[in-house]
A = this chain, B = another copy of it.
């Protein structure tokens, strides 16, 4: 099947996020909550974070997407994610899962199994190690860091995409996005400085929530998001390196680039390859 997504399509999605400001409900880890909220605001979306069992289902009522991230998981938080997922499934809003540290512990893996059970999330994003682990391919774990290249995880990504009947994104030096129907796009934007700020991967997942909220084609939504973030990373890295600055400055420049990117920057920097 030929993939017909164009650069202009992806940019249209960016504009749509900015103009519709979707409410993205995240149940995420303590480490990245602040940064993820700021990334969503910079993008033009609106973050909600609430996890109490007493309110999480009702809160889903005002959300346009649900993002689940297991970074600092605990049983009560996993239960909260399951309640939220059930309600989001009933309501028909997209659900995106970030299986942080998949493979690092059996509790983490069991929790991922629970979150994939019954109606699974429509989109899963992780690094190569995480996606390989979730797809049942054992890998060494280095916590939240990947020990494999994203290209090594393409087969695992397709397997997982078929399992969830949805979209899987393996992020890394090159991002690979695949779906259950065999589509495959690669994106070669981004910069190594993105691994020097905590929560950039988690923010990618949060941002996918914003794009999936406004673009029903979730393969395209994921591609638009990863392209946007990768290009923002490149712009931010260039600004940082020109100043002779480091990872602190990069974090701020990344938020600025997410906040201000122009159509010209997006279209001229995009390195997308339609593979299948």
What 1/0 mask marks residues of chain A from 42 to 66 whose CB sits below 8 Å from any chain B CB?
Answer: 1000111111101100110010000
Q: Which of B23, B33, B107, B199 contacts A143 (CB 8 A)?
A: B23
- The secondary-structure label for the interface of chain A is mixed
What 1/0 mask marks residues of chain A from 245 to 266 whose CB sits below 8 Å from any chain B CB?
Answer: 1111101111111111000000
What 1/0 mask marks residues of chain A from 86 to 120 whose CB sits below 8 Å from any chain B CB?
Answer: 00000000000000010011111000000000000
State how many residues of chain A have any CB contact under 8 Å with chain B.
Answer: 61
In the complex formed, the residue of B with least CB distance to A31 is: B33
Q: Chain copies in the assembly? A: 3
Residues A62 and B248 in contact, CB atoms below 8 Å apart: no
- Which of chain B's residues have a CB closer than 8 A to the CB of A37? 31, 198-199
- Which of chain B's residues have a CB closer than 8 A to the CB of A141? 62
Residues A74 and B52 in contact, CB atoms below 8 Å apart: yes
Q: A: which residues have CB within 8 A of B? A: 23, 29-35, 37-38, 41-42, 46-52, 54-55, 58-59, 62, 71-75, 101, 104-108, 141-145, 195-199, 244-249, 251-260
